[in-house]
Structure 1
């Protein structure tokens, strides 16, 4: 019985210590007295936990003092260089990296061209590890200060086991990718679907900040979505929730790479836009379609308008299923042709079910190309930072 009581006390202490660290992270700089007010804990308990966190190098006293009447109080802040994580964004033709410090700021970034389909997973893992080591050497950050690596990638990911179950974009199946990184660098690694990583970053740092329920639609070489509810990413039974691209619009429609006909992505992803455009003009890049639309070329404007209509239908389906307060539209399509948001809103009058009209907002991604790197770094921070046992629940 004593042993159980001791364990309960240890869990409570750990929880309280995490809560104080989390408050300092979110409201820094902050005084001990302000923490006591928020937590309703005694000054003695606050002092003890703060001392431990200072000794562990996670927080520090600043030169700032509280303003107002009465005795001046020394303010507390995070020690940004206490620990680091690395966020990685793996796409079809490039890999992006970012080093995140303990204050959750990206302090160094790097991007490289790499066609994953031309390499084995082992070769890609080796390349990623070499690039990360080079970044750390360049910034002077010791390897032992990196507590975790987060990687966002397209496909169906077994998030708990670190396995890429299927990624048609990368042409991988049943690849234990997290362990390949861990074995090489001896740093804990977590992998996840890129849009789930992206919506986490939008919730923490971008467009979805303050939202209770946000849906994100990603449009690129494929179509996907993600949902975050009160800070928790909705994963579904096998972390596959959000595979919008393979919902059926027309069972007799265009043939999809998955073998079915009429999948949504065959109507609005980049490849479908290029194929449609080639019926009229020789184009090799979707940006040429956007440029032609801006140049008032009728064929291009019709393609973009049709895409906006299908996107409006997609938003209606998501809103009917999940009733979010915010829908974020992201990806190259939006980042290179922001006018499409206005077109989507025009079409929404036709396709959004009446009870939901005016009950949610449609906005572009705020973080753009940095979102996955930031989200992957934050994911690693949630999992592997000190006191991370309660981190994901509290943040």
Structure 2
């Protein structure tokens, strides 16, 4: 019938809204517990009836419980809600070129215990890597007295192009991997579900989890957080309503390969003038070494602090390109917040402010004041926390978490 939505589309939309509401209510409780149903409705912009249904669902899943506390203030008293922290645990894993980090994470997103191991990654040593992860998880769980039955899954963040649905590392230059079914192989050894994604995407998810309701008004239609990372590479990730925005092949955010000068420097991807050829660690050091031998970003910062004009010029120009990058992200996605991270920002206390100052020269009038910009809040733990969050999201989405 004309004008009527097909039944399968209507059911699909209803299912998406149900998942969105469930995650929104859970995030409200996670960030503000103990909290009343009334306050959840106020923070989220949802109706009291919808909040009531979702809370009942989360209680049934064993994730949330009512407390003995009663809300104070004027008016009708309300029973408070809090997370059932004893119900489940997740594992958050970061795999980098020569360092693997593993954390056990509780329902609130707090790392209970973490450990790491130096190990050179390549496809031939994949079994060694999996052995190390399995051993670290077992040792930490035993140390904390956490039974295996408490774990609902493990999340892994690593650099490269990832097929997150299949759990396959399509290509990772840093690790030397191509078409590696990492999730399947790790899942068989850990004996729990494993989800796999790009490290920047899970890092953005981790960071956004601790900001969204504090900075986004309830009436805002979309809660969008963009993470921009500047270091050995240049990349971005987008979180929309607490979900990773992936694009058609899970490669959304590769802004380092956007071309700003078709006659510019040759990039490792084979094209000329890619943005990352101007502002990555390697690009800055290559430019600096035309003047003086410089072996690290920290050394370049030291020359800048000593008043060397050439070093100041290189850093100033990098700040300009980063500001241009942020402006492009803002114009394209109109995010509520931007998180700046990576070695360039985190290894010198003045770079965040320098980029923010430069941004005023490039940001358009209509976009000025439309977003807030932050430093990384979780630092080196953000990938592990984000990976654990990804597991939890998947379980909550599909109602796979059950009361223990």
- Which runs of no fewer than 5 residues in structure 2 stay unpaired? 1-14, 217-222
Tell me the alpha carbon deviations over residues 318-345 of structure 1, each in whole angstroms, 9 at most, x when there is no partner: 2222222322211111111232223223
Tell me the alpha carbon deviations over residues 184-233 of structure 1, each in whole angstroms, 9 at most, x when there is no partner: 11110111111111111222114885342222111121111011223332
TM-score in terms of structure 2 length = 0.80
Distance 1:27 1:76 in 2: 10
Distance 1:355 1:66 in 2: 41
SS at 2:235 equivalent:
strand
> Structure 2 vs 1, CA of residues 63 and 361 (structure 1 numbering), >3 Å: closer, same or farther?
closer
SS at 1:123 equivalent:
helix
Tell me what 1:3 maps to: none
Is structure 2 residue 254 aligned with structure 1 residue 243? Answer: yes
Structure 1 segment 328-343 matched on structure 2, within 5 A: 328-343=339-354
**CA deviation after TM superposition for structure 1 residue 70, in Å:** 9.6
Relative to structure 2, which stretch is displaced further, 302-311 or 342-351? Answer: 342-351
Tell me what 1:227 maps to: 238
CA contact (8 A) 1:85 1:100 kept: yes
2:95 counterpart (90, 96, 108): 90
2:310 counterpart (296, 299, 303): 299
Tell me what 2:286 maps to: 275
Tell me what 1:389 maps to: 398
Distance 1:69 1:358 in 2: 35
CA contact (8 A) 2:117 2:132 kept: no
Distance 1:320 1:33 in 2: 36
- Which runs of no fewer than 5 residues in structure 1 stay unpaired? 1-10
Distance 1:275 1:370 in 2: 30
User: In the comparison of the two structures, how many residue pairs are matched?
Assistant: 377
CA contact (8 A) 2:65 2:83 kept: yes
Distance 1:35 1:107 in 2: 27
Tell me what 1:8 maps to: none
**CA deviation after TM superposition for structure 1 residue 74, in Å:** 6.2
SS at 1:116 equivalent:
coil
> Structure 2 vs 1, CA of residues 208 and 376 (structure 1 numbering), >3 Å: closer, same or farther?
farther
> Structure 2 vs 1, CA of residues 172 and 346 (structure 1 numbering), >3 Å: closer, same or farther?
same
> Structure 2 vs 1, CA of residues 274 and 118 (structure 1 numbering), >3 Å: closer, same or farther?
farther
Relative to structure 2, which stretch is displaced further, 214-223 or 107-116? Answer: 107-116
Tell me what 1:160 maps to: 165
Distance 1:244 1:337 in 2: 23
Is structure 2 residue 92 aligned with structure 1 residue 81? Answer: no
Distance 1:117 1:137 in 2: 29
Structure 1 segment 105-254 matched on structure 2, within 5 A: 105-117=110-122, 120-206=125-211, 209-211=214-216, 212-254=223-265
Compute the RMSD of aligned alpha carbons: 3.7
Distance 2:39 2:369 in 1: 39
Tell me the alpha carbon deviations over residues 243-278 of structure 1, each in whole angstroms, 9 at most, x when there is no partner: 111112222322222222222212111122222222
Is structure 2 residue 322 aligned with structure 1 residue 311? Answer: yes
TM-score in terms of structure 1 length = 0.82
Distance 1:244 1:24 in 2: 34
**CA deviation after TM superposition for structure 1 residue 59, in Å:** 4.4
Tell me what 1:264 maps to: 275
CA contact (8 A) 2:37 2:48 kept: no
> Structure 2 vs 1, CA of residues 388 and 213 (structure 1 numbering), >3 Å: closer, same or farther?
closer
SS at 1:306 equivalent:
helix
